Amino acid sequence: MILRTHYSGQIRPDMDGSEVVLAGHAHETRDLGGILFLVVRDREGLSQVTMVAKRTERSILETVRGLSRESVVSVRGKVKAEAKAPRGFEIIPSSVQVLARADSPLPLDPTGKVDCELDTRLDSRFMDLRRPASMAVFRIESAVLQSLRQTFYSKGFTEVCTPKVVATATEGGTALFPISYFEKEAFLNQSPQLYKQILMSTGLDRVFEIGPIFRAEEHDTRRHLNEAISVDIEMSYADHDDVMALLESAVAEAYRFVGEVCQHELSVLGLDLHVPKTPFRRVTYTEALDMAREAGRASMEWGDDIDTETEHYLGSTIGEHYFLTDWPAKVKPYYTQPYDDRPEVSKGFDLMHPTMELASGAQRVHDYGLLVERMKSQGLDPDGFEFYLKAFRYGMPPHAGWGLGLGRLVQTMLGLENIRDAVLFPRDRKRLVP
RNA sequence: GUCCGGAUAGUGUAGUGGCCUAUCAUGAAGCCCUGUCGAGGCUUCGACCCGGGUUCGAAUCCCGGUCCGGGCGCCA
């Protein structure tokens, strides 16, 4: 049984006369009485199947007339070049099989004739993804992942998988999800940070991980989720400048690659992708604060975290990707390396899109004594971190790294209003299903 | 968490106290139609988030709840 020989995108008018088998969803049928059209949709597009009533087998006509929208069909037939047909060809069927019948009414309209709200779409995500514009986002996301992996492998990185179930909640200030782990208390990990760093003491030197992170924060915005995919790297014998260079080239290359391999998806979305120019502008925290103050847009003191209003002002002023560097040490985590000559300033950085933060990273503290001291000064108890600190006592190379939010990268690349559009099955404060 | 806005057929919407037996589109069922491509024409079906209150009368006003959207906060 052959259920498909060609996708829609592979059929062309010059295949006139050849037999093909299409399979997909019944996008719509148009019955004009004497002539009947069935439009079959697969992941590459639409194909029209044409049946002239007088010249078509009765059983085929009955099957197609009884077809509910979105039923799954397999159509065997001959390609006929036809100027009157969409895309210049149509299929004259010799058989039409219904592989699965769809119920009616549908939870939303995949043809796009009637709008639907994000919440409705997410409730029936399987059906939403039949809309070409929704599917295109995730085929592009896949290309972004492929590109990022290619970049990392080409630079000598090893892909790793670190645990998502962890024992300690003392990693930092963010809220973690507690879970039951046999007789013990455990948590879902908020970041692979500590494990990436432990791996730097092994001599593996360059690692990356693409995996989920979990944050139990009550945030409820169009750029936050409680489960996200983080693209994380850690690199030995490198400083913050080295990993910023890697980050900007990885991001720019992802844009370039998507533009090359996702032309169909980009045209479905009506986008003309602009590859950001590297190197990205570097703006120090102090410069950013001065810019905002001069414009009367900031009431912050040096040392405060940058608030959303200031972040948006900077983004709209700068207008392209940029790095925010040289953050006050006290607003960055304990593992962020301070400058030798001015310890109140750190080698931490954020990668910013004009609309939001995409990534944050730093050169890390690799000196055991300094790390313990920094932990204590941020109110953490080093005893809870023994599994981590141990790796710093037996020869830890200097290293640096970053974590990049995949959803935000795709969201900003495609100009999506809500990060939920860029995640197949988003998890937020309210949504746990599907 | 907080502020602002919202919730009407399966979906998307109109409707600011009586004109609502609730609009339109899409959909579904049926009929007509040989080139549709958001096909067209005709008929039919299908809805006011939940609970209280005000009023002669509530989809509409008030209170509480639930859910949704946006801003901010939170996000080492």
> In angstroms, rounded to a whole number, what is the distance separating the alpha carbons of residues A371 and A374?
5
Q: Mean pLDDT check: name the lowest of A147-161, A168-182, A350-364.
A: A168-182
Q: Can you tell me which residue has its alpha carbon closest to the C1' of nucleotide B72?
A: A308
pLDDT attached to residue A173: 62
Q: Which nucleotides of B are covered by protein (CB under 7 A)?
A: 1-2, 10-13, 25-29, 32-39, 67-76
> In angstroms, rounded to a whole number, what is the distance separating the alpha carbons of residues A341 and A331?
18
CA of A105 to C1' of B16 (A): 33
Nucleotide nearest to A105 (CA to C1'): B10
Helical pair A132-154 and A240-261, crossing angle rounded to 10 deg:
140
Distance of CA A87 to the CA centre of its chain: 32
pLDDT attached to residue A176: 87
For A336-360, how does the pLDDT look when each residue is reduced to its tens digit (9 = 90+)?
999 999 999 999 999 999 999 999 9
Asked if A28 is an active-site residue, the reply is no
Say which of A6, A374, A408, A420 is annotated catalytic. Answer: A408
Query: Is the CB of residue A407 less than 8 Å from the CB of residue A228?
Result: yes
Helical pair A308-318 and A285-294, crossing angle rounded to 10 deg:
90
pLDDT attached to residue A170: 56
CA of A113 to C1' of B39 (A): 14
Look over chain A and give the mean of its residue pLDDT values, rounded to a whole number.
Answer: 93
Asked if A253 is an active-site residue, the reply is no
CA of A219 to C1' of B64 (A): 25
Asked if A217 is an active-site residue, the reply is yes
- Domain definitions of chain A by residue range: 8-100, 132-280+320-422
> In angstroms, rounded to a whole number, what is the distance separating the alpha carbons of residues A401 and A343?
20
Asked if A223 is an active-site residue, the reply is yes
pLDDT attached to residue A298: 66
Nucleotide nearest to A119 (CA to C1'): B68
Closest C-alpha among A416, A432, A413 to residue A147: A413
pLDDT attached to residue A295: 81
Residue A296 binned pLDDT confidence (cut-offs 50, 70, 90) = confident
Q: Which CATH class is domain A8-100?
A: mainly beta
Query: Is the CB of residue A227 less than 8 Å from the CB of residue A177?
Result: no
Q: Which of helix, strand or coil describes residue A61? A: helix
Judge whether residue A13 has pLDDT over 70: yes
CA of A308 to C1' of B1 (A): 17
Count of beta carbons in the 10 Å neighbourhood of residue A175: 14
Helix (H) or strand (E) holding A146: helix A132-154
User: Is the peptide bond prior to A93 cis by the omega test (within 30 degrees of 0)?
Assistant: no
Query: Is the CB of residue A230 less than 8 Å from the CB of residue A404?
Result: yes
> In angstroms, rounded to a whole number, what is the distance separating the alpha carbons of residues A79 and A43?
19
CA of A107 to C1' of B28 (A): 13
Asked if A95 is an active-site residue, the reply is no
> In angstroms, rounded to a whole number, what is the distance separating the alpha carbons of residues A29 and A98?
14
Question: What is the mean predicted confidence (pLDDT) over A22-46?
Answer: 94
Which is more confident, A249 or A1? A249
Give Cα separations from A367 to A335, A378, A389 (angstroms): 10, 17, 10
Residue A363 binned pLDDT confidence (cut-offs 50, 70, 90) = very high
Query: What percent of chain A has a predicted confidence (pLDDT) above 70?
Result: 98
Record: fold of A132-280+320-422 = BirA Bifunctional Protein; domain 2 (3.30.930)
Closest C-alpha among A415, A86, A44, A422 to residue A263: A44
| Most confident of the following: A86-90, A234-238, A287-291 | A234-238
Query: Is the CB of residue A143 less than 8 Å from the CB of residue A167?
Result: no
Nucleotide nearest to A115 (CA to C1'): B12
